[in-house]
Chain A
Amino acid sequence: VENVRLLDRLSSRKAALGTLYLTATHVIFVENVSETRKETWVLHSQISSIEKQATTATGCPLLIRCKNFQVIQLVIPQERDCHDVYISLIRLARPVKYEELYCFSFNPKLDREEREQGWKLVDLNEEYNRMGIPNNYWQISDVNRDYGVCDSYPTEVYVPKSATAHIIVGSSKFRSRRRFPALSYYCKDNNASICRSSQPLSGFSARCLEDEQMLQAIRKANPGSDFIYVVDTRPKLNAMANRAAGKGYENEDNYSNIKFQFIGIENIHVMRNSLQKMLEVCELKSPSMSDFLWGLENSGWLKHIKAIMDAGIFIAKAVAEEGVSVLVHCSDGWDRTAQVCSVASLLLDPYYRTMKGFMVLIEKDWISFGHKFNHRYGNLDGDPKEISPVIDQFIECVWQLMEQFPCAFEFNERFLIHIQHHIYSCQFGNFLCNSQKERRELKIQERTYSLWAHLWKNRADYLNPLYRSDHSQTQGTMRPQIAPCNFLYKFWSGMYNRFEKGLHPRQSVTDYLMAVKEETQQLEEELEVLGERLSNLQKSQLNDNKVKSKQQDRSKQVGLSTSNNSLANTPQEYSNDLKSFPSRSPSQGDEEDSALILTQDNLKSSDPDLSANSDQESGVEDLSCRSPSGGCCLPSEDSGKDSDEAVFLA
């Protein structure tokens, strides 16, 4: 469709004119401006909702909201075209079969072996070995080898040594969805563990010997403690209500040596609504500080993030400080349980704060343990009531921790944002379907590529320059401040306003420090080499000359990176802030602030050295992926990586 306008949300007068294309996998907008022909690509999988708005004199507005929080406002000249686009997008954004998803056509031009290797990068057996298992207390069980016991669990589960197959099977029959207690994390320093399950089918009075034996087995696997905590991550009221449906929670009277604890985290419906409300706040045009703070509080979003974090902190403390094992569950043990177990693991074990470790963590507590990616993130068209930002919340918890502990993580904010992006993009096969069983049936590993391999290949983009594995902040258990700590939870504009250029600094501290770090390393290596050569008198003359020319090249590069810091940015519409001010009575007629409103013509594109990309000046980023046949790109994978997703250091 031609003559379509793409509006900028913050500056409503900045509209780009171009052509809109719809392909099998993407929506593409190409600007008419002949020099740049800037492209905006959006994967259908990313589309969360499409809204056709009232036709105005300028055309028919179409609003596309994406799961990665991009909001695209188009204005299509003809109503008929707009309607066609709308209907098409509705269908394209709601695939019915897995084969419609991008991952089945995406071709990064790797050979079969490379694809296989990519899938092998993260190996859970290796991970449990790293934890120290199998050992005297824990072993691997193949009781679920054909998914016969629990179809949402992996084939390989880790259980206490004293848990026989009989006990496991018996316990599984007493648990919602058959999700029996299994090991999530083992702390070899003190033998305390984190196990996870779903709720017991206890109703008001039902008991199950094998389930009770299972919990005893967990306790026995930790000789340092004579009880275990059982943590129900639901609000007490919800858990009690479940009893009426024949489910519920563990009765301390029936299970010997357990201490039961509720840590109320709300359910998926509450979270879905919470995100919805928060996004509405983000869409307000020129909100006042009041509008924003009230709106944010009203959404409850940060309160929920804190609840998840608090649960993780409780469990980490129980394991690290008390040396007591914990069994965690919610209702089905695949949402809140996953969040809380992975937060706790991250707090306990610095390995999960490394890039590789983090990928392993997600693979373990989310992918292998059957978090319902398809239902939650809408790979395929399904029940809207199943949709919920569960893993988004976990990812945000990690970001909140990164802000409090800037040196503690090997990876940076961009890593988190790209992972979130790809959970929804369906460009890679890792996050498809609802369970390991489904993924194997679809032969995902043979037909798609692994995100982990892709991220690993590009890991230079994802490093945190402040991370040092020998730094005190990166050692041992992480202990976030507990109280007071409300103020520590910040609104993550890097994620929820990701695509709004005007809100973020144009200078990325992370990228700058990484460049500095790399250069320092190069110089240090060179210094070593020089030192060696200097000691060899015969060659010294020749080598000095060689080295000088190398140094000159490098200083040119340095010049580039430092001058990039002087990026022109443009003022936003400060004069539009009038809403919050009481002034402007009719007698003010003359005060034409509108004279101050700058037209595109007035804006001087001031200045010097923008030797790098024009992208950085224009302020409209290259969104989402490029050609389906080429290498996948997120904005940062192209050259202009420092201009868009800038990062604040606390």
Chain B
Amino acid sequence: MLRSSQPLTGPNRKRCREDEMLLGTVLDEGERGFIIDTRSAQAAKQARMTGGGTEPKSSYPRWRRLHRPLERGRPLQESFIKLVEACNDTSINMDRWLSRLESCRWLSHVKAALSTACLAAQCMDREEASVLVHGAEGTDTTLLVTALAQVILDPSCRTLAGFQGLLEREWIEAGHPFHLRCARSAYSHARLKQEAPLFLLFLDCVWQLSRQFPFSLEFGECLLLTLFDNAYASAYGTFLCNNEKERRVGREVRESTHSLWAWLNQPEEKEKYLNPLYSPNALVIWPSVEPQSIQLWQGLFFRWIRSSQYLDEAWAETRRLVEGN
């Protein structure tokens, strides 16, 4: 699986031999690959007007392009803000709650993200084809898809250590602009242009997987909530800045801050994040993306609104049963 940003085809349909060769080397003799473009065909076409575009079939004959539009940017942030508002609104009656939930579109975004990641995984696992994923910049929906696909495909990404490695690789080093994206979160009136909850969407999708495959992830909801918190505000330097260059040049983040992973991985801390039901599953986990299978992440969206006491007790009891064994 590869990721990139959009090709700069532009209005004059420019070609780039090197790019074509690079993609050519990925495929073996007779093999074909899939390009998953996270923009709609329409949007991808329009991108040409501003210098971007898509890979033309004639130049990349062995690659089949699929469009799976995923929401990002302003609209995604709006969706998040609306959802949080709806969750906090005590005046909604039961007979309007679901439509209110629907109007936020958040769950539709979760469904779309999971579906696209599954598609990428299916290409690799079932079709045994290589996959290139990109959107426009390659820093948002692209990373969402590649990271999620790896959780689905690769059992090592489902271990606590492996998941941390995945985050480092596919989000932090890959250059997801955390500083811009995770600035103020949902309550702020600031409405910053570059803010968007892609990382939260990723965590939500991982939570959906943990619900559908309760034995297959080595970590639990607690880790996901901690990651959400730290992406926005952290005592650690792990999620600082927007890319590796910013972290190294002039700032020396590694030298002047502590790593979140170092703290999480301490034995006393670690056990809080482990899933007592974990049992290594060597197989690919294929989630159901039917609406019934996708639920609102109560642990996050109602975290401060409803008591988690009874659910916490259930987990404590689960832990007791498993560890007592």
Contact = CB atoms under 8 A, between A and B. Distances in A.
A574 B99 CA distance: 25
Given A406-B311, A593-B66, A486 B94 contact: yes
A650 interface: yes
A516 interface: yes
A25 B112 CA distance: 45
B322 A516 contact: yes
Given A289-B107, A649-B314, A489 B94 contact: yes
A643 to B, nearest CB: 14
Interface residues of A, number: 89
A562 B216 CA distance: 12
Given A291-B291, A566-B281, A487 B314 contact: no
Contacts, number: 215
Contacts of A569: 283, 285-286
A483 B97 CA distance: 13
B211 interface: yes
Interface stretch (B16-24, B116-124, B184-192): B116-124
Interface in B207-239: 211-216
A520 B98 contact: no
Contact of A572 (B289, B298, B325): B289
Interface string A585-598: 10110111101101
Contacts of B289: 572, 574, 577
Interface string B33-69: 0000000111000000000000001000000111111
Contacts of A572: 286, 288-290
A525 to B, nearest CB: 14
A512 B325 contact: no
A583 B211 CA distance: 31
A253 interface: no
Interface stretch (B194-202, B244-252, B265-273, B301-309): B301-309
Interface stretch (A202-210, A364-372, A445-453, A490-498): A490-498
B277 interface: yes
Interface string A271-293: 00000000000100011111111
Contacts of A497: 292
B137 interface: no
Contact of B90 (A483, A502, A607): A483
B317 interface: yes
Contact of A292 (B57, B123, B292, B311): B292
A457 interface: no
B283 A571 contact: no
A296 interface: yes
Contacts of B41: 583-585, 587-588
A591 B66 contact: yes
A545 to B, nearest CB: 25
Given A407-B317, A577-B289, A584-B41, A288 B98 contact: no
B67 A487 contact: no
Nearest to B57: A590
Given A466-B314, A591-B65, A296 B215 contact: no
A507 B119 contact: no
Nearest to B101: A293
A568 interface: yes
B314 A303 contact: no
Interface string A472-499: 1100000001011111111101000100
A404 interface: yes
A306 interface: yes
B64 A583 contact: no
Interface in A591-624: 591-593, 595-596, 598, 602-604, 606-608
Contacts of B68: 581
A504 B302 CA distance: 24
A297 interface: yes
A595 B64 CA distance: 10
A95 interface: no
A166 interface: no
A230 B34 CA distance: 68
A303 B277 contact: no
B138 to A, nearest CB: 19
B25 to A, nearest CB: 23
7 contacts: A297-B99, A490-B295, A491-B292, A513-B322, A566-B280, A575-B119, A596-B119
Interface of B: 40-42, 57, 64-69, 87, 89-90, 92-99, 101-102, 105, 107-108, 111-112, 115, 118-119, 121-123, 126-127, 211-216, 277, 279-286, 288-296, 298, 301-302, 305-307, 310-311, 313-314, 317-318, 321-322, 324-325
Given A287-B291, A593-B66, A596-B127, 9 more contacts: A289-B105, A292-B292, A486-B97, A487-B298, A507-B216, A513-B321, A574-B289, A584-B67, A590-B65
